[in-house]
Amino acid sequence: MALPDLDKAVGHSFGLEIDGVQIKQISEVSGLKMEQDVIELKQNTVDGKYVIKKLPGRPKAGEVTLTRGLTEDNSFEKWVKDAHFGKMTTARKGGAIIVYDYEGAAIKRYKLTNAWPKSLEIGSLKAGDTSVLTEKLVITYEQMEVE
């Protein structure tokens, strides 16, 4: 369902889906970006003026960082292990970051192609600290499309 005119999406409701499997309890997604190279074409016009035209180049691959509280779910670790040991046929996955509206209906899907985990970082372990332990997974992808 589309949002009514003048309403905006709130960034608190989102999810991650990798190969059709929902990975739950993601608390933060950062780095979603679509980017491409810029080609500069330098030339002279018919009347001798120097001009620079900017043309779209190749799309760039990207990275997205997912953060969640540390739980017994080991889906991140299993995925990282596949990539670490070079099992890229199973490590490369398709997926999407999904943004939901206030009623829970999907309003945007950021589809990731050939995504695989680059790194997994566990939050700081500090004696006496009462903050939630987190794990950050950095995923690299070859292409992102907005659906």
**Beta carbons of 6 and 19 less than 8 angstroms apart:** no
CATH, residue 55: 2.30.110.20
**pLDDT tens-digit profile of 10-59?**
667 888 888 878 876 788 999 999 999 999 999 999 999 999 999 999 99
Query: Does 36 map to a domain?
Result: yes
Query: Does 91 map to a domain?
Result: yes
Query: Does 126 map to a domain?
Result: yes
Query: Does 93 map to a domain?
Result: yes
pTM: 0.78
Give me the number of domains the chain comprises: 1
Query: Does 2 map to a domain?
Result: no
Least confident stretch, 37-51, 93-107, 108-122: 93-107
In the predicted structure, residue 138 carries a pLDDT above the cut 90: yes
Output the pLDDT for position 42.
95
Query: Does 74 map to a domain?
Result: yes
In the predicted structure, residue 5 carries a pLDDT above the cut 80: no
- Tell me the β-bridge partners of 80: none
Query: Does 1 map to a domain?
Result: no
Query: Does 6 map to a domain?
Result: no
**Beta carbons of 82 and 74 less than 8 angstroms apart:** no
Domain that holds residue 115: 14-146
Output the pLDDT for position 25.
79
The helices-and-strands tally (H runs, E runs) of the chain is 2, 10
